[in-house]
Amino acid sequence: MSPDIPAGQQAGTHERRASDSLLRTLADSVPVSIAYFDSATQKCLFANRQYADSNGWTVDSIVGRTTEEVIGAQAWQAIEPHVLRVLGGERVTYSRALELPCGDRRQIEVNLIPHFSTAGAQIGAFVLITDITRHFRVEQALRESEERLRKFATATTEGMVFHQHGVISDVNDAVLSILGHVRDEMIGRHTLDFVPADARERVFDYMRSASEFLFECEVLHRDGHRVPAEIIARTIHRDGQNHRLVVLRDITERRRAEARIEYLARHDALTGLPNRSFLAERLEGMLALARRREVVAAILFIDLDNFKTVNDSLGHQAGDELLKEVAGRIKGALRDADIVARFGGDEFLIALGDLGAPGDATRVANKLLSVISAPLALGGRQIYVTPSIGISLFPRDGNEVDELIRAADSAMYRAKDSGRAGFQFYSPSLSEGADLALAKESTLRAATANGEFVMHYQPQFAVEGGRLSGIEALVRWRHPQHGLLAPAEFIPFAEARGMIIPIGRWVMHEACRQVRAWRDLGYAVPRMGINVSGLQFRREALVGEVAQVISETGIAAADLELELTESCLVDNSATSDKLGALRRLGVAIAVDDFGTGYSSLSYLKRYPIDKLKIDQSFIADVCAGDQAAIATAIIQLGRALGLRVLAEGVERAEQLAFLRQQGCDDVQGYLCGRPLPAAQFAQVHLPPAGFADA
Ligand code: C2E
Ligand code: MG
Ligand code: MG
């Protein structure tokens, strides 16, 4: 646009009209609002259609109006400073919001350009207005989204890094706390500077391929340690360029939890030793190596001999302590390369990967025997546990893991059978031992079915007055080949195989039936003591069965006394409930073999107990030293708690004299009467009913 054209004063000639018309056409076709104002009068000399329209004028009516008239007083107020500046000869650009007469809101950019005559005097000003609404809105949206992003970036614990071709342009606070850097140390550096050398290639590939999938890699903390991270990146297009936004999550905690879960799945929680499944894995590896190197390997199977007693009498917590201690001792006795695992319960398994000679296994077994058998302090007392150890050798006793474990296991049983606290090597004849046990189990089952058990009865007498105060029922097995067998020969076996349950049921029924039968024959019958094994006692059904037997045989509950060992009287609510129910039924409770358990004795006050039976091991030498002290203490304890005290195994007159002197209530033993079959017992010991009452 020529600066001289808008001079309206030059009107008149044909050329001028032509050029006016050309100007008008041009001005009306550009997408810009155009106007020209005279500097002296500030009146509009020219406006294109768009300018006139947008201010509510026509191209003719606008001419001669002042700026204020054209745009209205309010807008004038807003732009007056700009106008003053252009009148001062300055080129001015500004942008402002504009409300169109139709109510539309637009954003415009205004350029005010001073116009000078050739002489250099200011004669007017051009106004060029561009509608930048669309551009403005895009920019505003961008600003808002950046604002949102910034807020989000500061609020999240996920690290965010912006980079372009690897060069970091921005980071959020979370990245700084994950990596331990301050912002200035990161901006402008390459992202790979924060990745450990061995992971750089992988990260570089990820960046180069503009990948957007989640991947895990380690990043470097300022102090040099590696931080496990989960990373996902996105490509963002901006200003015609590709930027990368990297979101980085610190997964240290998750990794730690995963490692812990993995550890727990492979280790025994109590002892921290490898568990059974991890053991199998490691044994496979060990055997593979032994096969390759053609060396001898050994498996030692360890079972603790008296763990159950400790566990039952001192409680599970003490049992756990014991297992931990034993695990520690076993580990301490072996080399790091040896494998030690808890196999379950009180069983441990040890694998020695490379024996110089089979004799090495003997040396290790001896060492284990001595470290495990050393006394240990548990709950303020000295406990002794011993191991039974079975040993199998690779390749002599088997080629596979399972085979070798089975062999070591059966060797362990032989060690138990030969008196415990020792070790045995596997020998093929051991599997015959297993067959024998099986045969024994089936004959014992048959014995139950064939009625091969018989009861013998032993009398108990009151020390004062010598009256028959009770009877103990003792079972025997009339074996078709071996004759009459004592309980020691089959009760432990029956307990181990669970067969004590049917046997115990038969015993209870038979003893109660006998009481009733004797009564029917006219005898006075005192209370009948029946031995109840731990397994029987722990069964839910016990109380119901006792009640049933009483009603079936027609005796009174008061005729019955259950003999329990200390290991039954574990401190828990089930024990307490069961004893309470038996007491309500009217059955008496005696503690058998008293003094041989590891009990804390606190149960004596808590549980409804009627009688203590001092174990015969304390009576054998009762007239001398220690045993006298123990027996005396038990008698006094019983008296203090209001319990009857009976001494078992009284064989000699001086024992009886001592017990009488100490105030023991009852005695049982060969001195006064051996266990006898029912008929003989009645003849020797039972008085006729009327006689006893007298
Ligand atoms: P226990 O309950 O302590 O029974 C007492 C044991 O001492 C009996 O042995 C008895 O014969 C024996 N005995 C009695 N007086 C003397 C004596 O003066 N000197 C000696 N040296 N021993 C004497 P038995 O009959 O061999 O029973 C052994 C154990 O077997 C019993 O010990 C009891 O624990 C268990 N038992 C017996 N019958 C049954 C039963 O029906 N069920 C259960 N679960 N266990 C039973
Ligand atoms: Mg008994
Ligand atoms: Mg006893």
pLDDT in tens, 500-538: 999 999 999 999 999 999 999 999 999 999 999 988 998
Q: Is 593 in the pocket of ligand 1 (CB under 6 A)?
A: yes
Instruction: Give per-residue pLDDT as tens, 573-583.
Output: 888 999 999 99
CB of 670 within 6 A of ligand 1: the answer is yes
3-class secondary structure, 547: helix
Q: What is the mean pLDDT of residues 252-280?
A: 84
Centre of ligand 2 to C-alpha 532, Å, is: 8
Count of alpha carbons within 13 angstroms of residue 106, beta-carbon side: 16
Query: What pLDDT shows up at residue 476?
Result: 96
pLDDT score recorded for residue 2: 42
- Pair 575, 568: CB distance under 8 Å: yes
- For ligand 1, what atom is nearest to the CA of residue 650? 18
Q: Could you tell me if the CB of 504 is within 6 A of ligand 1? A: yes
Ligand nearest to the CA of 500: 1
Cα of 474 vs centre of ligand 1, distance in Å, is 6
- 430-447 confidence digits (pLDDT tens): 555 555 565 677 888 889
With the most atoms of ligand 1 within 8 angstroms of its CB, the residue from 477, 648, 652, 655 to mutate is 648
Of 577, 570, 580, 572, give the one whose Cα is nearest residue 608.
Answer: 580
pLDDT at 238 over 90: no
Ranking 22-26, 61-65, 554-558 by mean pLDDT, the lowest is 22-26
Q: What is the pLDDT of residues 108-133, one digit of tens each?
A: 899 999 999 999 899 999 999 998 88
Higher pLDDT, 203 or 604: 203
Alpha carbons 53 and 166: distance in angstroms, whole number: 52
| pLDDT tens track for 310-365 | 888 788 888 999 999 999 999 999 988 899 999 888 999 999 988 877 678 999 99
Residue 270 pLDDT exceeds 70: yes
For residue 488, pLDDT over 90 is answered with: no
pLDDT band of residue 260 (cuts 50, 70, 90) is confident
Q: Measure the CA–CA gap between 449 and 438, rounded to whole angstroms.
A: 17
- pLDDT at position 11: 46
| pLDDT above 80 (res 683) | yes
Encoding tokens for residue 538? 């722990």
Q: Is 50 in the pocket of ligand 1 (CB under 6 A)?
A: no
6 ligand 1 Cβ < 6 A: no
Mean pLDDT for the chain?
Answer: 88
Which ligand does the CA of 484 lie closest to?
A: 1
Q: What is the distance in A from the centroid of ligand 1 to the CA of 19?
A: 139
CA–CA separation, 460 and 463 (whole Å): 9
pLDDT for 428 beyond 70? yes
Instruction: Report, as an integer, the average pLDDT of 561-566.
Output: 93
Instruction: Give the pLDDT of residue 433.
Output: 56
CA 616 to centroid of ligand 3, rounded, Å: 7
What is residue 131's three-state secondary structure?
strand
* 653 CA distance to ligand 2 middle (Å): 22
Range with the largest mean pLDDT of 26-35, 236-245, 428-437, 625-634: 26-35
662 C-alpha to center of ligand 2: Å?
22
Nearest protein CA to atom 30 of ligand 1, as residue: 487
Q: Pocket of ligand 1, candidates 531, 613, 618, 681: which has the most ligand atoms within 8 Å of its Cβ, to mutate?
A: 531
How much is the pLDDT for 7? Answer: 47
Residue of higher predicted confidence among 269 and 326: 326
Kindly report, residue by residue over 68-104, the tens digit of the pLDDT: 999 889 889 989 999 999 999 999 999 888 777 678 8
Q: Distance from the CA of 685 to the center of ligand 3, in angstroms?
A: 21
Distances (CA, A) of 22 to 17, 28, 115: 9, 10, 21
How confident is the model at residue 414, as a pLDDT? 83
Segment 171-203, tens digit of pLDDT: 999 999 999 999 999 999 999 999 999 999 999
State residue 598's pLDDT score: 54
Tell me if 669 CB under 6 Å of ligand 1.
yes
**What is the DSSP code (8-state) at residue 181?**
-
Tell me the three state secondary structure of residue 545.
Answer: helix
- Whether 474 is in the pocket of ligand 1, judged by its Cβ within 6 Å, is yes
Of the listed ligands, the closest to the CA of 501 is: 1
Distance CA 651, CA 659 (A): 12
675 lines ligand 1 (CB under 6 A): yes
The pLDDT value recorded for residue 310 is 82
